[in-house]
Amino acid sequence: MTAFRQSDPAKSRKQHMHPTHFDTHTLDNLPTPLPACNLWLADGVLRQHIERHGGGWAAAQLSDLGGRAGGELVTLGEQANLHRPRLRSFDRYGRRIDEVEFHPAYHQIMQVAMAAGVHAFSWNHADRRGAHVARAGLMYLCSQAEAGTACPLTMTHAAVAALRHAPELAADWLPRITTRDYDSRSLPAAQKTACTIGMGMTEKQGGSDVRSNSTRAHPQGDGSYRIVGHKWFYSAPMCDAHLVLAQAEGGLSCFLLPRILPDGSLNAVRIQRLKDKLGDWSNASAEVEFTGALAWRVGEEGRGVATILGMVALTRLDCMIGSAATMRAALSQALHHTAQRHAFGRLLSEQPLMCNVLADLALESEAALALTLRVARAIDASPRDPREAAFGRIATAIGKYWVCKRTPMQVNEAQECLGGIGYVEENILPRLYRQAPLNSIWEGSGNVQCLDVLRALSREPDCREALFAELESVRGAHADYDAHLQRLQQAFERSDALETRSRRLVEDTALALQGAELLRAGDAAVADTFCRSRLGGEHGYSFGTLPADAPLKALMERSRLT
Ligand SMILES: Cc1cc2nc3c(=O)[nH]c(=O)nc-3n(C[C@H](O)[C@H](O)[C@H](O)COP(=O)(O)OP(=O)(O)OC[C@H]3O[C@@H](n4cnc5c(N)ncnc54)[C@H](O)[C@@H]3O)c2cc1C
């Protein structure tokens, strides 16, 4: 392993606090890096929304992880991204091993995250209301420090929903999936203390249209199948098993495909190469071929899409959580930097135009979090409340579309607040910027989410009802909201060119949901400024275009980590 740069926040803070004398110049006006803090205790906005949605009972666990996510995980995250995973196809003697080697920091982050239950808290506390909300909070905290590990964590969490379609497999695997341990050893699942799960749907010829999957499943007569074909994006290939789609005689079906077989041999999954990705560097995404890999069916033959959709609903929620966390991390950096850097005789954070930018970024970040946690609450309530289930079904697609879509723009603007160093790798902003577009592509890209919303509207009348009941419940709270809702209802009543118009429909619905959520949350500065700017037209195309009489300072201060 090459030597790696280890930053010492305490040391660098000390250096920045006193003017440094060079031969030619003396340095001042240098901000300190964001100090270590507890990302739960320091974030009043997060605490308020978690509380509102019924996850406040997990404050102790959230605080515990918040301390680590704002401390040691920051440094570990830097290291895990600096040293990207490496594919080792063969051992020294030429035996095929198909292993991906990760930096130790990656494993340490996984260890901390799994001990905190980022992958399992909702299942461990399934009998308590708000468990999915609390778990969303854990994911939000962890993802601010490091986002690549979120991939195996989210897939492991979500796999539980699909595995329940195969009770025998579930009985065998779930205890090791939902345990609060991390075991990275390459051993048969039965010999491990804990397992992680990935998913393989996307093939070279089609990712959105999974029905075009060409990978085939051949029954062996004993309940198992041999899988022959390929997957084009197979992230976290070191997971103990992946849920994959393949064509069986009865149609596209879902299978659990372990990496190591019960006898200790390597399953026939050949890692062809790792993707050279724009970002997400701590995490590996592989291209694989299955040359007769052994797998077990999950759910009925021909019901593969329906089976894996239970998993996809949860990973889509996690895309929202991850994107909201990325925005939060970028915002925290921007607020911190501008409160210490002077230009033209004043702190940047006191320059009127910068205030507008920062307040706008804070508003976007809170709106993203508010909608995300509302969806998490709906998922939480789904098993006992059909209306919440219907709302969660449609709001996940709406929220995934909008929150993920807004993230790259928001992060870029935060980056600009730091000026030149916002573009320099010693800083987390470039990493956040590279990560920002991922969630809008993964698990159904933007258009696919919009089409999914239309599908829900046309096939599941309960979804439309639940959606509008939600929106109607705050009618009367703000004039801009009411006018927006009326326009939205008219747009929904039209049946022409629905598909072509669906981005606009979904965007306007997402904004309405965010407005409703913020109005319900009760902070007048946030709700009024959101409704005026996002719903009432008092906003431009870029951030920093809030109306001049908006309570900019209050919005900034509300989101500052304290
Ligand atoms: C970092 C990363 C990790 C990933 N990890 C995994 C993984 O672990 N497992 C896995 O299975 N997949 C994974 N994916 C793949 C991802 O889910 C797919 O790339 C995605 O679903 C899109 O599929 P595609 O690339 O084949 O694009 P296509 O399906 O070709 O789509 C291209 C574009 O066309 C749009 N489009 C598609 N159909 C329509 C339509 N009817 N109307 C209008 N527009 C349409 C899409 O929205 C998209 O914008 C990963 C992707 C990334 C970037």
Residue 11 has pLDDT above 80, yes or no: no
Predicted local distance difference test score (pLDDT) of residue 18:
65
Which residue minimizes the CA distance to atom 27 of ligand 1? Answer: 207
Q: Is the CB of 202 under 6 A from ligand 1?
A: yes
Query: For 136-146, what is the mean pLDDT?
Result: 98
Establish whether residue 81 lines the binding site of ligand 1, counting it when its CB lies within 6 angstroms of any ligand atom. no
131-145 vs 72-82: helix axis angle to the nearest 10? 60
CA of 272 to the centre of ligand 1 (A): 20
What is the 234 CA–ligand 1 centroid distance (Å)? 12
Q: Which residue carries 């939480």 as its tokens? A: 380
The average confidence (pLDDT) of the chain is 96
Q: Is pLDDT at 445 greater than 80 in this prediction?
A: yes
For atom 16 of ligand 1, the residue with the nearest CA is 442
Cα 416 from chain centre: 23
| pLDDT tens, residue by residue, 311-322 | 999 999 999 999
Q: What does each C-alpha distance from 457 to 180, 314, 450 come to in angstroms?
A: 38, 20, 11
Over 80: is that where the pLDDT of 10 sits?
no
Share of the chain above pLDDT 70, in %: 97
Answer for the pair 355, 428: CB distance below 8 angstroms, yes or no: no
- Exposure string (b/e) for 312-325, b if CB count within 10 Å is 16 or more? bbbbbbbbbbbbbb
pLDDT at 20: 81
Which pLDDT belongs to residue 506? 98
pLDDT digits (tens, 9 = 90+) for 360-383: 999 999 999 999 999 999 999 999
Gap between the Cα atoms of 552 and 559, Å rounded: 11
For tokens 């790259």, what's the residue?
408
Q: What pLDDT, in 10s, does the model give residues 268-306? A: 999 999 999 999 999 999 999 999 999 999 999 999 999
Q: Does residue 442's CB lie within 6 angstroms of at least one atom of ligand 1?
A: yes
Using CA positions, which residue lies closest to atom 42 of ligand 1?
447
Nearest atom in ligand 1 to the alpha carbon of residue 202 is: 11
In this model, does residue 178 exceed pLDDT 70? yes
* pLDDT above 50 (res 483): yes
Atom of ligand 1 nearest to the CA of 443: 17
pLDDT in tens, 538-559: 999 999 999 999 999 999 999 9
3-state secondary structure 393-424: HHHHHHHHHHHHHHHHHHHHHHHHHCHHHHHC
Asked if residue 203 has its Cβ within 6 Å of ligand 1, the reply is no
pLDDT confidence of residue 19: 72
Average pLDDT over residues 338-352: 98
Q: What is the pTM of this model?
A: 0.96
Indicate the length of the chain as a whole number.
562
Residue 158 has pLDDT above 70, yes or no: yes
26 or 120: whose pLDDT is higher?
120
Q: CA torsion 414→418→424→425, rounded to 10°? A: -60
Q: Among residues 366, 395, 386, 255, which one has the least CA distance to residue 311?
A: 255
How do residues 215-271 score in pLDDT, each as one tens digit? 999 999 999 999 999 999 999 999 999 999 999 999 999 999 999 999 999 999 999
197-200 and 96-101 as β-strands: parallel, antiparallel, unpaired?
unpaired
Supply the pLDDT for residue 320.
98
Strand-pair partners of 248: 251
| Residue 3 pLDDT class (50, 70, 90 cuts) | very low
